[in-house]
Amino acid sequence: MIAGAPPRPTRAYLKLREEVLEHLWRRFPSHCIVMTDPQTRRVIDLAAERAYAHGFTASHEVSSWATLMVFFGAYFDDDPLWPWASGTLHATRDLPREAAIQRLFAAMNEAANPVVGATGEQFLQALLWVKAQPYDKIAADSEGSVEEAMVRWLRNGFPSKYASLSTKQLNLWTGQARARAEDFGLYARAGTILYGLLMAFLGFHFWRDPLHAWAGDALQDQSAPDPLAKTARLHRSGIAILRRYLILGQFTKGD
């Protein structure tokens, strides 16, 4: 069931966007604060676009879709590291949309909760590990191939994510990370490792994800004089954003 793009900027759509915005502020206040209102609305527009493409047009369905985007990246339905999403959407394409969204969340609970934790505790531990890794440590890594290094870093920092991936998925991830890092001029080994970790933590297509606009800005920065400088900026930007989320998480509820 394909419904196409949401009917913007009709009155009905603007009402839906305000309802989804209210949902995000209630459920993810830290994200809304960090992203600011204009960027949050861009996230909602993308959520509506991708939800509508699967026939989810009701406000609560788009809100549910936006929730999944926050948890698993804006393009979670096209992420080979989260195959439960695309598989469930394909299997439920002929079901009523209410039943389909319920099946999607059931699939998430079954497949993703063991990875991130029932309350996100394993993902939080992984983020705290990331925060503790200085850029110099990544830059100094010279053990094995760059693909082996990416796998080792993931296994050490996010073991439940590593354990959830098949050899085929790991090979796809490392190969795509290397290719995409080069596309952005991150030819140094450290750049490939960092890019791969961001793919694993934030989503396969994080570079164009409005939830992580800071990453796209850093990757497209033309002022960095060389690949290592660009990699260092990407690392600084990521750590700065992570610290903001962790600080705000102490004062807001719902994340």
CA distance 164 to 115: 7
pLDDT for residue 2 is more than 50: no
pLDDT for residue 179 is more than 50: yes
Could you tell me the pLDDT band of residue 9, with boundaries at 50, 70 and 90? Answer: confident
pLDDT at residue 14, rounded to an integer: 94
- pLDDT per residue as tens digits for the range 185-204: 999 999 999 999 999 999 99
Task: Read off the tokens for 137.
Answer: 């440590």
**Mean pLDDT score of the chain, rounded to an integer?**
93
pTM of the model: 0.92
In this prediction, what percent of the chain has a pLDDT beyond 70?
95
For residues 94-117, average pLDDT: 96
For residues 13-37, average pLDDT: 96
CA distance 41 to 210: 10
CA distance 73 to 215: 13
